[in-house]
Amino acid sequence: MAAAVAFTDLENLAETRSLDPAGSKEEFAYLELETPSEHSFENIVGKSATLRKVLDQVAIVAPTGATVLLYGETGTGKELFARAIHNLSPRRQRSFVRLNCAAIPSGLVESELFGHEKGAFTGALMQKRGRFELADRGTLFLDEIGDIGLDLQPKLLRALQEYEFERLGSTSTIRVDVRLIAATHRNLSAMIRDNHFREDLFYRLNVFPIEIPPLRDRREDIPLLAQYFVLRHARQMQKHINCIPMQAMEALVNADWPGNIRQLENFIERCVIFTQGEALHVPQAELSRSAASAGSTFETATRQVIINALKGAAGKIAGQGGAAQRLGMKRTTLQNKMRRLNISRDCYA
């Protein structure tokens, strides 16, 4: 059983006490001031049963060299898990090479992956090795794999199946020994159905899928994560913060965190910036405002109605029984609203 980083256990730190600087009797949970022990699990903080299950899967697959597909919402830690898998594998001494398929223009992805010869295309002034070559005998992490263009997918499939490819502008075949880890926040099955992702490539990637659960499904981890980020940012800002008010901690635990751990970390960083004393200053109004607005505004109501229609239509937008028909609106109007509200049909297929 893989253990999560035993950084510090808020409940066991116990020792809540009443500070009484201005007659108030607010309870404070104490943060441990020791440096968190660096653990082989790559700073993956948390001890919830949900997280442990994921860590178990990581521990099982890491040494095997099998292809891993990490999927989950944004900010859940997919990249952190990818690095953990590499570091727990026999390839750990070799490179971990990452390519974010969504971050570079689609026309350049091919040469980034496979490299090119001098003069292969306008602007190819020098020969360049691609990420596959750079990752030889190491791990290649293809982030946002769902964003890879249909045109490139057959070539990627061949490279993953045969471990061979040609640089752009070259006819000589290069062979590599690469372990692949891919990640996506998209629903690849829905993309296959819409002909945006090749089924054969999906099966090649889906050898060992691991779902990284959203933070709201592992709220027990929030106190530990909050502490971890407070200490990290306080150290960077050379502040001495040793406690989090209990009430603030409760608000942190109960917030929804749609941006998951990344959002929590950024929020804590802001709290640390605002903190002047030893107790973390948490603008709870901000947390409850987001909770309240999440339940009341017109925008949220619209959002809910659209999501319900998408669920009812299994992600289908247009045509008979589609979400647009259910809502009595034009397909394009619905699509515009979805774009504005950042709703993806993939999630409801």
Ligand X SMILES: Nc1ncnc2c1ncn2[C@@H]1O[C@H](COP(=O)(O)OP(=O)(O)OP(=O)(O)O)[C@@H](O)[C@H]1O
Residues in contact with ligand X by CB under 6 A are 43-46, 72, 74-80, 185, 225, 261-262, 265
The H or E element containing residue 254 is helix 246-254
| Alpha-carbon separation of residue 236 from 100, 229, 230, 284 (angstroms) | 28, 11, 10, 23
In the block, tokens 């020994």 appear at 177
Closest to Mg ion by CB, 28 vs 81, is 81
Strand partners, 27: 18
The H or E element containing residue 333 is helix 331-340
Closest to ligand X by CB, 197 vs 267, is 267
Structure tokens at 304: 């809910």
Q: What is the nearest approach in angstroms of ligand X to the Cβ of residue 84? A: 10
How far is it, in rounded angstroms, from Cα 145 to Cα 204?
Answer: 12
- Per-position DSSP letters for 112-175, written without gaps between them: HHH-B-TTSSTT--S-B--HHHHTTTSEEEEETGGGS-TTTHHHHHHHHHHSEEE-BT--SEEE
Part of the chain binding Mg ion (CB under 5 A), chosen from 17-25, 28-36, 78-86, 206-214: 78-86
Q: Quick check: 220 binds Mg ion (CB under 5 A)?
A: no
Q: Which of 78, 72, 306 is nearest to 186 (CA)?
A: 72
How far is it, in rounded angstroms, from Cα 101 to Cα 149?
Answer: 9
Comparing every residue's Cβ against ligand X, the nearest one is 77
First to last CA, the chain: 34
From ligand X, Mg ion, none, interface partner of 120 (C-beta below 5 to 8 A by class): none
Q: Quick check: 80 binds Mg ion (CB under 5 A)?
A: no
Q: What is the nearest approach in angstroms of ligand X to the Cβ of residue 296? A: 27
Q: What is the nearest approach in angstroms of Mg ion to the Cβ of residue 181? A: 12
From ligand X, Mg ion, none, interface partner of 75 (C-beta below 5 to 8 A by class): ligand X
Q: Quick check: 79 binds Mg ion (CB under 5 A)?
A: yes
Closest to ligand X by CB, 75 vs 315, is 75
From Mg ion, ligand X, none, interface partner of 265 (C-beta below 5 to 8 A by class): ligand X
Closest to ligand X by CB, 265 vs 346, is 265
DSSP 8-class letter at 171: -
Q: Which of 77, 121, 131, 126 is nearest to 100 (CA)?
A: 131
Q: What is the nearest approach in angstroms of ligand X to the Cβ of residue 268? A: 11
Q: Quick check: 278 binds Mg ion (CB under 5 A)?
A: no
Closest to ligand X by CB, 7 vs 114, is 7
Q: What is the nearest approach in angstroms of ligand X to the Cβ of residue 325? A: 32
Closest to Mg ion by CB, 78 vs 303, is 78
How far is it, in rounded angstroms, from Cα 96 to Cα 87?
Answer: 9
Based on the number of CB atoms within 10 Å of its own CB, is 258 exposed (0-12), middle (13-18) or buried (19 or more)? middle
Closest to Mg ion by CB, 214 vs 245, is 214
Q: What is the nearest approach in angstroms of ligand X to the Cβ of residue 199? A: 23
- Judged by the rule CB under 5 A, the positions of this chain that interact with Mg ion are 78-79
